[in-house]
Amino acid sequence: MSAKIQDVFEEPACEHNQQKSAKEKKKGCTKQLSPGAAAGGCAFDGAKIALQPIVDVAHLVHGPIACEGNSWDNRNSTSSGSTLYRTGFTTDINELDVIYGGEKRLFKSIREIIEKYDPPAVFVYQTCVTALIGDDIEAVCKKASEKFGKPVIPVNAPGFVGPKNLGNKLGAEALLDYVIGTEEPDFVTPYDINIIGEYNLSGELWQVRPLLDALGIRILSCISGDGRYREVAYSHRARAAMMVCSKSMINIARKMEERYDIPFFEGSFYGIGDMSDTLRQIARLLVERGAPDDLLGRTEALIAIEEGRAWERIASYRSRLEGKKVLLITGGVKSWSVVSALQEAGLEVVGTSVKKSTKEDKEKIKEIMGLTEQDSAHMIDDMTPREMYAMLKEARADIMLSGGRSQFIALKAKMPWLDINQERHHAYAGYEGMVGLVREIDKALHNPVWEQVRRPAPWETAACTGAA
């Protein structure tokens, strides 16, 4: 286990890592968490986030009720078919299991799932308590695979080994070790790509897929959004790969390049310029790997039309959004990729978080926002809830875009808020998505509810105090 974690930490392709000294690298990305001042997800959470979008698999959580009972069915990763991934499976171990070990219960659980649901595979997630009592899920999975003639995949990422982000990578390792390369596709084409680290939240993959379809590019496997077990198993036959989020599954992209000679690039579906770059890169990589080179021209033609359409639609909001101030608090990953769309709509970005951004990301933000060194107040490393509240309350920002965690800070300050994190219910990918984002901001800002909730109570106004 710890060797695996070390391996993941030393991921050479991680930009973050390249900037660290050897000593820093050793420490890995598990920043020591501060007790009493932290509340992120755990590694198990991360592994589950990464793999659960494989929709036809049974995801079995081996641990007490806390890990699955408190969390299942809480994501908007969408499926175009099977809904098995939305079923919560857990061994829900009890006191006796803690004393005598939970391996027997785990084995029986796998059997029950296979008998009742007959999925193409079962993924078994390790959690803190079962790791601590020493349950060997690898051994149980191996035995179960042999016995039932079906892949049973151990995902060894108990919560206490680190944060969500580490869990994403450990989840990815499980795919590398046990799934990828174990099956063959029915046929291959020179236009086959993998998309890695895209979870199809709110169906975002489907905002992008039509563009690829139009170009004749086939997504051989999306790891893991709307994925199927078999697709992941034969993903090693793709010609090229796109990695959507380097912070989550870069190990898959890099190791597949190493093992199967599949070149990859890191791209984003967020932001208009980024979407176009992504299409260009996919086309370029495929042509380099032997696809006919008319693909390049066709791609440019598509980009020209789609960009024009998107900018036109965004600009139509300009008169309504001109000069409104946005506070952008994301996980920090690629926050710059939406900044230009917001600016095009006339919005002013008064602050953006850079907590998880790399140096390069930060430079980009400065460039796009036209910031000088002194302006770095606009780049927020870590903002306390109190500061966010004050900023909104004093109307230094008109709307906050953030994850659900901070939504109530805005709402309690009676200010508009828009969800741009993983729990969101709107899809913001591709050209469609950016137009959608601006539309949602417009809706939020101009909702008549704001004027009403800010109105003073009748008894707070002079007419009602009885003074008159």
Partner 1 sequence: MATVGESRKACAVNPLKMSQPLGACYAFMGIGNCMPMMHGSQGCTSFGLVLLVRHFKEAIPLQTTAMNEVSTILGGMENIEQAVLNIKKRANPALIAIASTGLTETKGDDVDGFLRLIERKHAEALAGTRIVYVSTPDYVGAFEDGWGKAVLALVEAFVAPAPTRNPRQVNLLPGCHLTPADIDELREIIEAFGLEAIVAPDLSGSLDGHIPENFTPTTLGGSTLEQLGRMGASIASIAIGARMTAAATALEDRAGVPCRVFDRLTGLGAVDALMRYLTELSGNAVPAKYRRQRGQLQDAMLDAHFWIGGRRFAIGAEPDLLHTLAHTAHEMGAEVCAAVTTTQSPVLAGLPCEDVLIGDLEDLETRARATRAEILVTHSHGRQAAARLGIPLLRTGLPMFDRLGASHVLTLGYRGTRELITQWANALLEAEHSAAPQDWPLPPESAAAAQGGACGTGCGCDSALLTE
Using CB under 6 A as the binding rule, the residues of this chain from 109 to 148 that contact ligand SF4 are 127-128
Q: Does 444 bind ligand SF4 (CB under 6 A)?
A: no
| C-alpha–C-alpha distance, residues 229 and 58, integer Å | 10
122: alpha, beta or left? (left if phi > 0; alpha if psi -120 to 50): beta
Q: Which residue in the set 252, 291, 365, 409 belongs to the binding site for partner 1 (CB under 8 A)?
A: 409
> What are the backbone dihedrals phi and psi of residue 39, each rounded to the nearest 5 degrees, phi first?
-160, 45
Q: How far is the CB of 453 from partner 1 (least distance, A)?
A: 8
Say which entry of partner 1, ligand SF4, none residue 93 contacts (CB below 5 to 8 A, set by partner kind). partner 1
Q: Which residue in the set 132, 160, 304, 404 belongs to the binding site for ligand SF4 (CB under 6 A)?
A: 160
Site string for partner 1, 434-463 (x = CB under 8 A): -------------------x----------
Cβ contact 341:314 at 8 Å: yes
Give the C-alpha distances (Å, rounded to integers) separating 178 from 142, 152, 364.
Answer: 10, 9, 38
Residue nearest to ligand SF4 (CB): 159
Q: Considering only residues 370-389, where is the footprint of partner 1 by CB under 8 A?
A: 385-386, 389
| C-alpha–C-alpha distance, residues 428 and 432, integer Å | 7
Q: Does 210 bind partner 1 (CB under 8 A)?
A: no
Say which entry of partner 1, ligand SF4, none residue 225 contacts (CB below 5 to 8 A, set by partner kind). none
Question: Tokens 């139509």 sit at which residue?
Answer: 316
Structure tokens at 378: 């606009």
DSSP state for residue 152 in the 8-state scheme: E
Residue nearer to ligand SF4 on the CB measure, 67 or 114: 67
Question: Tokens 């789609």 sit at which residue?
Answer: 306
Q: Considering only residues 229-258, where is the footprint of partner 1 by CB under 8 A?
A: none
Q: How far is the CB of 400 from partner 1 (least distance, A)?
A: 13
Structure tokens at 166: 């580490």
Q: How far is the CB of 355 from partner 1 (least distance, A)?
A: 17
| C-alpha–C-alpha distance, residues 428 and 438, integer Å | 10
| C-alpha–C-alpha distance, residues 193 and 239, integer Å | 6
Residue nearer to ligand SF4 on the CB measure, 160 or 408: 160
| C-alpha–C-alpha distance, residues 452 and 381, integer Å | 34
Q: Does 66 bind ligand SF4 (CB under 6 A)?
A: yes
Residue numbers at the binding site for ligand SF4 (CB under 6 A): 42, 44-45, 63, 66-67, 127-128, 158-160
